[in-house]
Amino acid sequence: ASVEVLGYPFSGGQPRGGVDQGPEALIKAGLLDQLGALGWDVKFNPEVMNEVRQLAVQEHDSDIGKMHKPLAVSAVNERVADDVAAIQERGALSLTIGGDHSLGMGTVSGTKRRYPDAALIWVDAHADINTPLTTDSGNLHGCPVSFLLGLPGTNIPPFNVWMQPCLRPEDIVYIGLRDIDDKEKGILRDLGIKVFTMHDVDAHGIGRVMERVLAHVGAARPIHLSFDVDALDPTVAPSTGTPVRGGLTFREGHYIAEAIAETGNLVAVDIVEVNPALEDEASAAQTVAIGCSLSRAALGETLL
Ligand code: ARG
Ligand code: MN
Ligand code: MN
Ligand code: MN
C-alpha cells in the first residue's frame, strides 16, 4: 500500500512562530524511513514545502472582520485540498504534517472530493468550530470545522472561491475536548455533534470511547483522522501553541490511532500543531517523536 506524505510549514492560522517547523522536524526525525519499515511504499515531495512557504506570504493580508491572515490561510488551504484529493485519486493514503490546524480546511475538503461519505474523527483539546462571527481570538486554526460545515458567516471570499460546505454534522466525531469556547458549546449542542470529552474518557476509558466512536462512524466508511497533538496532555506533548492540562495520556492517544488503523478504512491522517520552537529542546524532541509515533500507529504499527 502507498502513503504520500505532505509537509505544510504553515503557521498563519495562529500567532506563534515555530509551528511551521513541524514538518521538517518530523522528516528529520526519520518519519519517512519509519513508515517504510512498516511496509508502506512512501512518497514525499519536499518541494511542496517551499511552494507552501511562498503561498503563505500574502501582501496586504489584513484582518477581515475578526479573522487574522485570511488570504494566507485561504491560499494555502486551496493548495492543500488539491494535493490531498490528488493523492487519494491515486488510491494512496494521505498523511499531512502541519503546520497549524487551519490546515484541516484543506485536508478535509480534499478527502471529501474523493470520498463524499467520509467520516471525520477530530482529536483535539479544542473543537475548532468557531465561525468568523463567534471567534474571540480571530485565529483561523480555531475555525476550520465551521467552514467545512458551511456555518453562518463562512460563505465569504476568499474562502468561498474554492471551498464549499462538504461536511454534515453527523459525519464528525470529536475526542479529547476540554477547552471549548461558550459559543462553540452552543454550536455543538445545536447541531447535535458527537463529542467525547475528557470527561467521557475518564468515565468510560478509552477502549469503550473508541467502540462508541467507531459505532457512530459505522462500518466500511472511509475515515479521515485529524489529530491535533494538543489533545495529548502537555506533559506528554509539551511543544504546542495552545496547551491545555488534563489531556490524553501517551497510550490513550496512540490507542485512538491504533483502533482507527484496525478498521482498515483510514484514507487520510493529519498530524498538526507540533511546534518545535516552544519549550526546551528535550520537550521539542519528545513532541516531534510523538508526531512520528502517532503517524506510525495510525498506519498500522502494533505493539506485538
Ligand atoms: N478556541 C480557541 C480559538 O478559537 C482556541 C483554538 C485552538 N485551536 C487549535 N487548533 N489549537 O482561538
Ligand atoms: Mn486543533
Ligand atoms: Mn487544539
Ligand atoms: Mn487577535
Contact 228, 272 (CB under 8 A): yes
**DSSP letters along 215-264, please?**
HHH-TT--EEEEEEGGGB-TTTS--SSS--SS-B-HHHHHHHHHHHHHHT
Identify the residue whose C-alpha is closest to ligand 1 atom 4. Answer: 142
Give the pLDDT score at 26.
99
Question: Which whole number is the average pLDDT over 92-101?
Answer: 98
Give the pLDDT score at 248.
99
Q: Which of 108, 137, 275 to mutate to test the pocket of ligand 1 (most atoms within 8 A of CB)?
A: 137
Check if 101 is active-site. Answer: yes
Q: What is the pLDDT of residues 29-40, one digit of tens each?
A: 999 999 999 999
Identify the residue whose C-alpha is closest to ligand 1 atom 8. Answer: 142
d(CA 124, CA 248): 9
Q: Which of 14, 50, 6 is nearest to 230 (CA)?
A: 14
Cis omega (within 30 of 0) on the bond before 165? no
Q: What is the pLDDT of residues 179-212, one digit of tens each?
A: 999 999 999 999 999 999 999 999 999 999 999 9
Check if 228 is active-site. Answer: yes
Give the pLDDT score at 206.
99
Identify the residue whose C-alpha is closest to ligand 1 atom 6. Answer: 142
With a 6 A CB cut-off, is 128 part of the ligand 1 pocket?
yes
Give the pLDDT score at 137.
98
Q: Which of 77, 103, 108, 126 to mutate to test the pocket of ligand 1 (most atoms within 8 A of CB)?
A: 126
Give the pLDDT score at 279.
98
Q: What is the dihedral of CA 34, 46, 74, 84, to 10 degrees?
A: -50
Residue entry with cell 466500511: 220
| Average of per-residue pLDDT values in the chain | 98
Hey, what long-range contacts does 40-47 have (CB within 8 A, 24 or more apart)?
40/1, 40/2, 40/3, 40/299, 41/1, 41/2, 41/3, 42/2, 42/3, 42/4, 42/5, 43/2, 43/3, 43/4, 43/5, 43/92, 44/4, 44/5, 44/7, 46/7
3-state secondary structure of 149: helix
Question: Which whole number is the average pLDDT over 286-301?
Answer: 99
DSSP structural state of residue 92 = P
Does the pTM surpass 0.80? The reply is yes
Active-site residue (options: 20, 78, 83, 124): 124
Percent of the chain at pLDDT > 70 equals 100
Q: What is the pLDDT of residues 140-165, one digit of tens each?
A: 999 999 999 999 999 999 999 999 99
Active-site residue (options: 128, 233, 258, 301): 128
Question: Which whole number is the average pLDDT over 77-103?
Answer: 98
d(CA 284, CA 286): 5
Residue 242 CA to ligand 1 center (angstroms) comes to 7
Task: Indicate which ligand has the atom closest to the C-alpha of 143.
Answer: 1
Looking at ligand 1, which atom is closest to the CA of residue 135?
A: 4
Q: Which of 178, 239, 242, 271 to mutate to test the pocket of ligand 1 (most atoms within 8 A of CB)?
A: 242
Give the pLDDT score at 96.
99
Residue 13 CA to ligand 2 center (angstroms) comes to 10
d(CA 75, CA 78): 5
Check if 273 is active-site. Answer: yes
Task: Indicate which ligand has the atom closest to the C-alpha of 242.
Answer: 1
Q: What is the pLDDT of residues 38-67, one digit of tens each?
A: 999 999 999 999 999 999 999 999 999 999
Q: Confidence band (pLDDT; 50, 70, 90) for 273? A: very high
Task: Note the ipTM here.
Answer: 0.94
With a 6 A CB cut-off, is 142 part of the ligand 1 pocket?
yes
Give the pLDDT score at 170.
98
Q: Confidence band (pLDDT; 50, 70, 90) for 171? A: very high
Task: Give the CA angle between residues 3, 84, 49 to the nearest 5°.
Answer: 85
Identify the residue whose C-alpha is closest to ligand 1 atom 3. Answer: 142
Check if 128 is active-site. Answer: yes
Give the pLDDT score at 187.
99
